[in-house]
């Protein structure tokens, strides 16, 4: 009986203890949940858009916001700024993907045409002019002989046009010698020595008037020193762009005979390169100053990739083997159009 009484007395105590245990479990669970919530990483909407983490969800317009920070997103697809992406910037792309060597001029032919027949020959008149202006009152005999007035030159060109002559360049002439290319029925070459200013003032306009071209041999020292009696580089560029051909006449117009190779390279190659730099076209022909030269000069010209040279020797017959001693026909200050016609008829006669 006493045991039964004790059992019933312990029941309330057991219920109290059970309630306390359940309460403690609830408190512990709540605390643990709260701790987990505090430590869980949260989504910062200022750093990552929800669409990045949930690709299955359709993006909405307010998800894509423009931010000018390099750390705004880990995916550059949605970042409009170059600094926020690892994709190379446009500058890097140009350097790596599309960089090309600087544009340089490429000549039509760097190597002299191989002759079909080295013994081939042509008969073509190459006229030699110097001054194209009225000589000054105190001119000496040499200046008088070298000076053709603009009016006289106009008469020369008028006759050539009427007689059916067509001007060609020395490059065309050389290809005809080497490769036997076809030339006009009555070819003629006009050359001017020294590069005087009157070549631009008078010869150039008259040549354009008759749709003719000419080859101008210039020595470059007076051009570099801005001598007012000679052409300027700007004039040369303009004339070349209009179809005129330019050749070298050395640097200082000195006697080239009995000179060492270093001196000849200075005179010949220096002038050649100066002209090429302005015209953008290889200089292939040389004119011996005052017609003076020796074999060493020819050897240097050949090694410097000149194709030929003209002399002051009278003649109209040319061969490939003698391309560095090409003859010409000197035009004197007193040569009228009738005199020129007589010279050319004598050449054309069998």
pLDDT for the residue 127: 98
pLDDT, greater one: 165 or 50: 165
- Give the tens place of pLDDT for each residue, 323-333: 999 999 999 99
Comparing 11-25, 82-96, 165-179, 219-233, the range with the smallest average pLDDT is: 82-96
Comparing 74-88, 117-131, 160-174, the range with the smallest average pLDDT is: 74-88
DSSP tag of 90: H
**Percent of the chain surpassing pLDDT 90:** 63
pLDDT for the residue 295: 97
Pairing relation of β-strands 166-167 and 187-194? Answer: parallel
Q: What is the mean pLDDT of residues 258-273?
A: 97
The fold adopted by the segment(s) 128-348 is TIM Barrel (3.20.20)
Distances (CA, A) of 197 to 74, 226, 268, 302, 309: 70, 11, 22, 30, 23
Paired tokens of 183: 């030339």
Pairing relation of β-strands 308-314 and 285-287? Answer: parallel
Contact 278, 233 (CB under 8 A): yes
Strand boundaries in the chain, DSSP class E = 121-123, 126-129, 166-167, 187-194, 215-218, 245-248, 285-287, 308-314, 317-319, 326-330
Q: Is the pLDDT of residue 153 over 50?
A: yes
Is the sign of the CA dihedral 267, 269, 273, 275 positive or negative? positive
pLDDT for the residue 95: 31
- Give the tens place of pLDDT for each residue, 91-141: 333 333 333 333 333 333 556 778 888 888 999 999 999 999 999 999 999
Contact 224, 260 (CB under 8 A): no
Distances (CA, A) of 73 to 41, 69, 76, 85: 17, 9, 7, 9
pLDDT for the residue 260: 97
Q: What mean pLDDT is reported for the chain?
A: 78
**Percent of the chain surpassing pLDDT 70:** 68
pLDDT band at 338 (very low <50, low <70, confident <90, very high): very high
pLDDT for the residue 109: 53
CA distance 44 to 77: 19
Q: Is the pLDDT of residue 299 over 60?
A: yes
Contact 245, 302 (CB under 8 A): no
Distances (CA, A) of 87 to 52, 53, 66: 18, 21, 18
Q: Report residue 284: phi and psi, to 5°.
A: -110, -10
3-class state of residue 243 by DSSP = coil
Question: How far from chain centre, in Å, is Cα 72?
Answer: 46
| Domains of the chain, residue spans | 128-348
pLDDT for the residue 83: 34
Determine if the pTM surpasses 0.85. no
Contact 229, 196 (CB under 8 A): yes
Pairing relation of β-strands 121-123 and 317-319? Answer: antiparallel
- Give the tens place of pLDDT for each residue, 32-68: 444 434 443 433 433 333 333 333 333 333 333 333 3
CA distance 124 to 226: 35
DSSP tag of 156: H
Closest among 185, 201, 55, 179 to 118, alpha carbons compared? 179
Length of the chain: 350
Q: Is the pLDDT of residue 142 over 60?
A: yes
């Amino acid at each position: 009986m006493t045991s039964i009484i004790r059992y019933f007395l312990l029941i309330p105590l057991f219920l109290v203890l059970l309630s306390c245990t359940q309460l403690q479990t609830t408190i512990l669970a709540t605390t643990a949940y709260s701790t987990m919530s505090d430590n869980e990483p949260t989504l910062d909407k200022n750093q990552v858009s929800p669409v990045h983490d949930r690709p299955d969800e359709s993006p909405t317009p307010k998800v894509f916001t423009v931010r000018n920070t390099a750390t705004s997103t880990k995916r550059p697809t949605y970042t409009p700024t170059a600094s926020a992406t690892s994709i190379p910037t446009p500058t890097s792309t140009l350097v790596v993907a599309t960089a090309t060597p600087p544009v340089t001029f490429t000549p039509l032919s760097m190597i002299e045409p191989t002759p079909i027949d080295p013994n081939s020959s042509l008969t073509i008149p190459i006229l030699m002019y110097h001054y194209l202006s009225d000589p000054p009152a105190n001119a000496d005999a040499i200046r008088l002989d070298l000076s053709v007035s603009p009016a006289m030159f106009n008469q020369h060109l008028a006759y050539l046009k009427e007689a059916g002559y067509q001007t060609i360049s020395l490059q065309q002439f050389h290809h005809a010698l080497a490769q036997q290319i076809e030339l006009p029925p009555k070819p003629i070459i006009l050359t001017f020595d020294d590069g005087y200013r009157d070549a631009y003032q008078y010869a150039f306009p008259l040549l354009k008037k008759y749709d003719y071209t000419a080859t101008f041999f210039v020595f470059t020292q007076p051009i570099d020193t801005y001598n007012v009696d000679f052409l300027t580089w700007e004039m040369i560029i303009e004339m070349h762009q209009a179809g005129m051909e330019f050749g070298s006449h050395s640097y200082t117009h000195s006697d080239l005979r009995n000179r060492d190779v270093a001196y000849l390279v200075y005179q010949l190659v220096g002038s050649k390169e100066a002209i090429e730099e302005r015209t953008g076209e290889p200089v292939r022909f040389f004119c011996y100053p005052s017609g003076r030269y020796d074999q060493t000069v020819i050897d240097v010209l050949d090694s410097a990739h000149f194709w030929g040279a003209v002399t002051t020797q009278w003649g109209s017959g040319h061969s490939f083997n003698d391309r560095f001693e090409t003859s010409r026909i000197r035009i004197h200050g007193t040569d009228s159009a009738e005199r020129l016609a007589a010279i050319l008829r004598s050449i054309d006669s069998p």
